[in-house]
Amino acid sequence: MPAASAPASPNPAPRVRRTVFVEGVRTPFGRARPDGLYAHTRADDLAVKTVRELLRRHPELPAERIDEVAIAATTQQGDQGLTLGRTVGVLAGLPRTVPGYAIDRMCAGAMTAVTNVAAAIGVGAADVALAGGVEHMGHHPMGFDADPNPRFLAERLVANDALNMGVTAENLHDRFGALTRERADAYGAASQRKYAEALAAGRIDADLVPVATRDPERGWGLATADEPPRPGTTVEGIAALPTPFRPGGRVTAGTSAPLTDGAASCLLAAEDTAAELGLPVRMRMVAFAYAGVEPEIMGIGPVPATRRALERAGLTIEDIGLFEINEAFAVQVLAFLDAFGIADDDPRVNPDGGAIAVGHPLASSGVRLMTQLARQMAERPDVRYGLTTMCVGLGQGGTVIWENPHHPEYVPTSDVPTSDVPTSEEAAR
């Protein structure tokens, strides 16, 4: 007698809706020091400024249509604690009905905020969301007041220097002999040069929202430009710098991202909702992935994360026309390039410079990468796919692959067969 077939599920899995990047903005980045741009500015106010700017730029978006606010911070205390997503939403003037939450994946905080809300959009739990991150490293130094579990060392789960990011960069130099100091020095100087060229060409200012500042001695001011860049940096100058993480080492201030204060936020939507509201589409999320690696060489994290993301997207590294790689350290970028057979000076890689020049306010940098990539895609309609990727403390990496809506082969949701893309109602069921 034939076996009875299993009854059909009353709640079949919904088809995933497409998530698009509408726009991203960031504050100018400041140096994390007592006389830095934001020495007397609250971290949560920096995040509020970015959210308000997104709302100002998009009056076509009714604020009540925002379904979620996800804001990341690595050190969640003081003025960047208290459930940032919710407090930033309230302080930015969003309706009280808009919920929010805080998130932490260290350097990939904002990236994780983006992928979390994108996943919610994909299954119909949200139509529009805000995601971003803030880090005031002047108020909250990395690892400040942290209490790592003693089992990490007692049970030899990680090396005793794995929590020092600079040492993990030195470890990458040790592990891979091709990653020389000379290559890192050249890369650091190139990052500064590319940023200076992008700034002179007017390609940076559109991403920035000015921030009013106040200093007890100097009075009121207006932050309109990034503070960390050092134009005119040369390979010879970097070569003369000391190696603070190890005597006779290879990592210097010229090949590391400076300690930085700043915030960045972006607006995400389901593609059909963007069409309904008249919101622009700057990129479409194709796939994302996170991966763990040995904490001692955390800088290699983008490599397995990118391989996973490419596999999920059905793409190869040759399909990627633009790379935005977070420059926590030059050696980390070089390790990525070597893993995929990409030249150090490949013009697809960080064409406007990176964190070595502009700074790395930890949890905010993921959206900074996305904002730059979105602008570059608008300038390069010949490029169909780009990616944003970064290493993460304690041994992780994260990668997001994006499609360019300006590319001639891009197909918007409205042109995809309805059997392939669910409506909002279908996705919510």
Contacts of 110 (CB under 8 A, 6+ apart): 72, 131, 132, 133, 264, 363, 364, 365, 366, 367, 368
Q: Is 107 a residue of the active site?
A: yes
CB atoms within 10 A of CB 95: 12
Residue 348: Cβ within 10 Å count:
16
With tokens 């200093």, the residue in question is 215
C-alpha closest to that of 356 among 250, 230, 199: 230
Tell me, yes or no, if 139 is annotated catalytic.
no
- The active-site residue, picked from 136, 139, 360, 407, is 360
**φ, ψ for residue 398 (rounded to 5)?**
-140, 140
Q: Specify the amino acid at residue 373.
A: L
Distance CA 126, CA 123 (A): 8
Active site residue 266: no
Q: What gap in Å lies between CA 114 and CA 128, rounded to an integer? A: 12
Choose the catalytic residue: 40, 139, 391, 407. Answer: 391
Integer angstrom CA distances of residue 18 from 109, 240, 343, 417? 22, 49, 33, 13
> Among 107, 136, 140, 266, which one carries the catalytic annotation?
107
Q: Which residues of 301-331 are buried (b: 16+ CB within 10 A; e: fewer)?
A: bbbbbbbbbbeebebeeeebbbbbbbbbbbb
Angstrom distances, CA of residue 425 to CA of 36, 65, 330 = 49, 15, 46
Residues with catalytic annotation?
107, 360, 391
